């Protein structure tokens, strides 16, 4: 595995923090600006910092037109592969530009102008990427809502974003299931206070829809023959998109991404972090409804002149645990980015990696994992299976690109399983105790980032500076609060253990559920697991573990549970008070793969909860509830 001397990387990080103006000004030269910026970092309205004020550019131009002009017109820009329908389609940079130009012209014909908002409620089809780039082209703000979101959740986002137009499709596809989108969209519009002027609908052959006269148009009718629209010249500080993330009050928070800082950071990250050069094939196995899809399916690969893959399918079941290996082999993928839960699912169904033998994946050079903490056992299985560097890295919807990562383009550091390595240059990450003091190495605390955040991070929330400050900047003045808990070791490596809410208090001892999950995941029969605290009259809270076993495991569940309890006692100690575990068939997750520990805790404690809008399959909650009843944990 290639390595770089640690001091070289550390010096780069130190230089970026000591003189961010010079560091980012140099990187900004990789973007084509319509007019130069006046200030690299504008601190005049701190803590609301802005980057590259005074400069103008267009993100779509930098993602498409620029590459065509520079001779990459015939290179593949986008590969669409739908395991759900068997459909495959490719777009060169010139072809994708033509599609985007016409869609942008169609939006302009519908009255969309610079600063207007367009909601995109779409499945994983090429038109979704085209819609996003078309908005960027004319200066409209797109807000992508995960296709299939429940009507009341979609209505909340409509009311906050106030879109003039919604772009959707007749349906989305799940294994063995068609999800009609149009009825969900119609209901959401009925619920919403804000009334949308027009809807544009992509007709998919798997489902039709009834259009509402005067409001709805088919995609082809609206866009195919539209006059191509040129790129608008936009301020670096203009909003490119708004992406909603769930708020603690039940009101979604609209994370703002600007044009200038976003383009600068995202393009740089492709080479520096992911090792991607122009012409390389990059695959982020995610969904455009999530930040990974925005940053690393659509914008960053195209800004970098790479080829990106849009995959409509699952890691298993479409049709088998070899789905990822097929994509890598067929399209010569150099770097794969996915969630740890995808590899846990593959390992669960194919623990000996038999399906990989049917595919030549020699093009793959790196695997990056993010979205949820990767336990060391899964990381080591992936390393053994793929024989490439496996990089667990950490970032958030709010930050837009990685905070901490082993950086393939800057020289790989030694891998430490369980750690997301060191902060990426530009990020000043600290670990603070409850009083705001930095913790000693090895002590778990609140992971924060010293302000100002680097380019590409959220500058604020949509039309709500006050909520941005209250939600992220108030608890630890001068820092951005990530709401994650973790620690640094004496080499400066960062370990993200859990969300702050997942730190449990057992008889006055603050313990990380992530540490216990790491122990459980190391058991030979465990495919994936979750640990969370449940109420206890004596100790305040005690941990409860739920485990999914590997496919084909026939051992007695009681024996496995006893072994798990003993493992935690041996590796963490009696203080953990880990005495109960339940074997279940599957764990409840969001569509992006995050395990819903908070919901399971509420089930165990008998607390009412609202069904999360992002849940992948609500029926799993019934299974979990019954398993807890059978174990005597809940009534």
Query: Could you report the per-residue pLDDT of 518-532, keeping only the tens digit for each?
Result: 889 999 999 999 999
Question: What number of helices (H) and strands (E) belong to the chain?
Answer: 20, 29
Angle at alpha carbon of residue 404, lines to 421 and 290, rounded to 5°: 130
327-348 pLDDT per residue, tens: 999 999 999 999 988 998 999 9
Most confidently modeled range among 2-16, 254-268, 371-385, 552-566? 254-268
Is the pLDDT at 374 greater than 90, yes or no?
no
**Dist CA 78 CA 310 (whole Å):** 7
Q: What pLDDT score was predicted for residue 611?
A: 78
Average pLDDT, the chain: 93
Closest among 438, 560, 572 to 492, alpha carbons compared: 438
State how far the alpha carbon of 301 is from the alpha carbons of 262, 268, 329, 544, in Å. 13, 10, 19, 41
Entry pTM: 0.86
Q: What pLDDT score was predicted for residue 1?
A: 32
**Average pLDDT over every residue of 602-608:** 90
Most confidently modeled range among 145-154, 274-283, 373-382? 274-283
Question: Would you list the domain boundaries of the chain?
Answer: 6-313+393-487, 507-630
Q: What pLDDT score was predicted for residue 539?
A: 73
**Dist CA 546 CA 520 (whole Å):** 9
Is the pLDDT at 537 greater than 80, yes or no?
no
Q: What pLDDT score was predicted for residue 372?
A: 80
- Find where tokens 């489902």 sit: 207
> Hey, what CATH class is 6-313+393-487 in?
alpha beta
pLDDT interval class at 281 (50, 70, 90): very high
**Average pLDDT over every residue of 93-105:** 98
Is the pLDDT at 471 greater than 90, yes or no?
yes
Q: What pLDDT score was predicted for residue 570?
A: 84
> Hey, what CATH class is 507-630 in?
alpha beta
Q: What pLDDT score was predicted for residue 577?
A: 82
Q: Is 86 exposed, middle or buried (0-12, 13-18, 19+ CB in 10 A)?
A: exposed
**Average pLDDT over every residue of 130-158:** 93
- Which of 365-379, 465-479, 591-605 has the weakest average pLDDT? 591-605
Give the whole-number percent of the chain exceeding pLDDT 70: 97
**Average pLDDT over every residue of 565-583:** 86
Q: What pLDDT score was predicted for residue 155?
A: 93
* Helix ranges, 316-359 (H): 323-331, 340-349
**Average pLDDT over every residue of 49-59:** 98
**Average pLDDT over every residue of 448-462:** 98
Q: What pLDDT score was predicted for residue 507?
A: 60
Is the pLDDT at 396 greater than 50, yes or no?
yes
**Average pLDDT over every residue of 468-472:** 96
Is the pLDDT at 509 greater than 70, yes or no?
no
Closest among 371, 629, 619, 632 to 484, alpha carbons compared: 371
Tally of CA atoms within 13 A in the half-sphere of 507 that contains its CB: 7
221-241 pLDDT per residue, tens: 999 899 999 999 999 999 999
**Average pLDDT over every residue of 308-335:** 97
pLDDT interval class at 3 (50, 70, 90): very low
What's 134-159 look like in SS3? HHHHHCCEEEEEECCCCHHHHHHHHH
Is the pLDDT at 457 greater than 80, yes or no?
yes
Is the pLDDT at 249 greater than 60, yes or no?
no
Map residue 296 onto helix, strand or coil: helix
All residues at 6 or more sequence positions from 73 whose CB lies less than 8 Å from its CB, including other chains: 67, 92, 93, 94
């Amino acid at each position: 595995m290639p390595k770089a001397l640690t001091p070289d990387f550390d010096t780069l990080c130190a230089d970026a923090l000591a003189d961010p103006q010079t560091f980012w000004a140099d990187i900004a030269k990789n973007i084509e600006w319509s007019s130069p910026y006046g200030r690299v970092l504008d601190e005049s309205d701190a803590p609301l910092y802005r980057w590259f004020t005074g400069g103008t550019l267009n993100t779509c131009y930098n993602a498409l037109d620029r590459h065509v002009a520079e001779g990459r017109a015939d290179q593949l820009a986008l590969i669409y592969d739908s395991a759900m329908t068997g459909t495959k389609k490719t777009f060169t940079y010139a072809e994708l530009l033509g599609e985007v130009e016409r869609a942008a012209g169609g939006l302009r014909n519908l009255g969309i102008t610079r600063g207007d908002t367009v909601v995109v409620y779409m499945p994983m089809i090429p038109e979704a990427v085209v819609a996003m780039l078309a908005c960027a082209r004319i200066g409209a703000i797109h807000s992508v809502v995960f296709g299939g979101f429940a009507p009341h959740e979609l209505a909340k986002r409509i009311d906050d974003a106030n879109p003039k137009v919604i772009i959707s499709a007749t349906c989305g596809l799940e294994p063995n299931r068609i999800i009609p989108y149009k009825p969900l969209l119609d209901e959401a519009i009925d619920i919403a206070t804000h009334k949308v002027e027009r809807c544009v609908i992509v007709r998919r052959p798997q489902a039709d829809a009834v259009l509402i006269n005067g409001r709805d148009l088919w995609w082809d009718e609206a866009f195919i023959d539209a006059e191509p629209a040129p790129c608008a010249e936009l301020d670096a500080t203009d909003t490119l998109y708004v992406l909603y993330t769930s708020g603690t009050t039940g009101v979604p928070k609209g994370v703002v991404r600007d044009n200038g800082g976003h383009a600068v950071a995202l393009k740089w990250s492709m080479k520096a972090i992911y090792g991607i050069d122009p012409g390389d094939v990059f695959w982020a196995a995610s969904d455009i409804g999530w930040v990974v899809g925005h940053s690393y399916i659509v914008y960053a690969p195209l800004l970098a002149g790479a080829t990106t893959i849009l995959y409509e399918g699952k890691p298993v079941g479409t049709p088998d645990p070899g789905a990822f290996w097929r994509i890598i082999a067929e399209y010569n993928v150099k770097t794969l980015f996915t969630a740890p839960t995808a590899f846990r699912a593959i390992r669960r169904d194919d623990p000996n990696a038999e399906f990989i033998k049917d595919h030549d994946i020699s093009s793959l050079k790196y695997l990056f994992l993010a979205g949820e903490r990767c336990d060391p056992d899964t990381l080591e299985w992936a390393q053994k299976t793929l024989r490439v560097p496996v990089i667990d890295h950490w970032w958030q919807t709010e930050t837009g690109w990685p905070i901490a990562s082993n950086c393939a383009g800057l020289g790989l550091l030694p891998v430490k399983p369980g750690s997301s390595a060191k902060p990426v240059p530009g990020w000043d990450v600290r670990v603070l105790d409850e009083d705001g003091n930095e913790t000693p190495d090895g002590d778990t605390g609140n992971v924060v980032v010293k302000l100002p955040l680097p380019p590409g991070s959220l500058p604020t929330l949509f039309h709500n500076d006050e909520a941005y400050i209250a939600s992220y900047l108030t608890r630890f003045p001068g820092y951005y609060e990530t709401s994650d808990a973790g620690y640094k070791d004496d080499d400066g490596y960062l370990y993200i253990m859990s969300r702050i809410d997942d730190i449990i208090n057992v008889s006055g001892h603050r313990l990380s559920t992530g540490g216990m999950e790491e122990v459980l995941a190391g058991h030979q029969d465990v495919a994936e697991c979750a640990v969370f605290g449940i109420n206890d009259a004596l100790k305040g809270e005690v941990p409860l573990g739920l485990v999914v076993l590997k496919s084909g495991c026939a051992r007695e569940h009681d024996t496995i549970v006893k072994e798990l309890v003993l493992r935690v006692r041996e590796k963490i100690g009696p203080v953990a008070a880990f005495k109960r575990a339940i074997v279940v068939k599957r764990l409840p997750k969001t569509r992006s793969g995050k395990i819903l520990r908070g919901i399971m805790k509420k089930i165990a404690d008998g607390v009412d909860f609202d069904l999360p809008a992002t849940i992948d399959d609500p029926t799993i909650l019934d299974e979990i509830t019954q398993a807890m009843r059978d174990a005597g944990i809940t009534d």
